[in-house]
């Protein structure tokens, strides 16, 4: 099966990506229209800057200075530096609307070391939800998006993109976030936004299918199996490319609550596994455009 690796772990479009303050060193990045460019990154201090809202902070940094690549560059040194850049801990933004149990699972995996990344910011449309409270209790900044009538603060789509850039976010993980992601964000973070849905998509997905409504519909349909799906996010509800699924049985006498609990247990495991693959750059694309996960134990195997 022919596959191609995605450069830089699906990081957002390079033209608007923030600088990476990693000390004075050279590293090579691939661009679509240029074979390679070397960047000299000067070391610099970070300055904590408040943007005027509670629990919303970011850091500023000096700009990256670019220079043309040299034909006499040491390939061994370049490969070593590239490996260091690829191996850095990824920065994650998680979006929630409720209790955030999947968010908690991802954060716990990061803290115990199995996940090579850190949740650097939480985005929510409900500033007092359980997920937001958990984030504040663990020192994670909370951003409100979109602004609602009942909320005293909130960001516009462009402000949200700019703020995530300042946090140097690599990947966005939706974990029970019930709002449609704006086109400004999907374009800025192409192939870098993921969602978990409590059914085997494309079945029981789309606008209006969320939470307990999904499980009630599954049982009413007579389906014998269900389970969570993790997919790339596009401009519509639940229509992005499927990345991973986990199957659970639907028992003859299941209630929606019983099925929901069974699916949720699998969600917690599956989302952590996918997040680990993202942070280790183990997502690959088949020639026909289907995303696959590369096995950690055997890089020649995908699933």
For the annotated catalytic residues, the residue numbers are: 197
Ranges assigned E (strand) in 17-167: 26-29, 37-40, 47-50, 57-60, 65-67, 90-96, 117-124, 142-144
Residue 231 has phi, psi (to 5 degrees) of: -140, 160
Give kind and range of the element (H or E) at residue 279.
helix 256-279
Residues 6+ apart with CB under 8 A from 155: 143, 144, 145, 146, 147, 163
Backbone angles phi, psi at 177, to 5 degrees: -95, 125
Give dist(CA 162, CA 199) in Å, integer: 33
Other residues' Cβ atoms within 10 Å of the Cβ of residue 49: 11
- Say whether 167 sits in a helix, a strand or coil: coil
Please give the C-alpha separations between residue 178 and each of 33, 34, 190, 258, in angstroms, as whole numbers: 38, 39, 20, 22
């Amino acid at each position: 099966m022919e596959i191609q690796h995605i450069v830089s772990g699906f990081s957002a479009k390079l033209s608007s990506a923030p600088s990476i303050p990693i000390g004075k060193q050279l590293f090579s990045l691939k661009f679509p229209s240029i074979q390679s460019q070397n960047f000299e990154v000067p070391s610099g201090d970070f300055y904590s800057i408040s943007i005027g809202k509670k629990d919303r902070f970011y850091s500023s940094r000096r700009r990256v200075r670019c220079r043309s690549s040299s034909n006499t560059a040491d390939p061994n040194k370049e490969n070593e530096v590239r490996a260091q850049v690829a191996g850095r801990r990824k920065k994650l933004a998680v979006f929630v609307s409720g209790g955030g149990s999947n968010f908690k699972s991802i954060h716990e995996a990061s803290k115990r070391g199995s996940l090579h990344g850190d949740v650097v910011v939480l985005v929510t449309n409900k500033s007092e939800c359980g997920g937001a409270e958990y984030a504040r209790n663990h020192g994670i900044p909370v951003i409100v998006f979109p602004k609602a009538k009942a909320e005293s603060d909130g960001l516009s789509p462009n402000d949200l993109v700019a703020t995530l850039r300042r946090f140097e976010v690599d990947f966005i993980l939706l974990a029970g976030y019930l709002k449609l992601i704006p086109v400004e964000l999907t374009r800025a973070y192409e192939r870098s936004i993921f969602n978990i849905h409590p059914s085997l998509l494309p079945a029981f997905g789309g606008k209006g299918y969320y939470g307990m409504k999904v499980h009630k519909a599954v049982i009413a349909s007579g389906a014998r199996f269900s389970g969570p799906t993790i997919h790339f996010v596009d401009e519509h509800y639940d229509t992005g490319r499927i990345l991973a699924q986990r199957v659970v049985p639907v028992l003859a006498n299941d209630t929606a609550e019983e099925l929901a609990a069974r699916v949720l247990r699998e969600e917690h495991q599956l989302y952590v596994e996918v997040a680990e693959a993202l942070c280790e750059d183990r997502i690959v694309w088949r020639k026909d455009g289907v995303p696959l996960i590369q096995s950690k134990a055997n890089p020649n195997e995908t699933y």
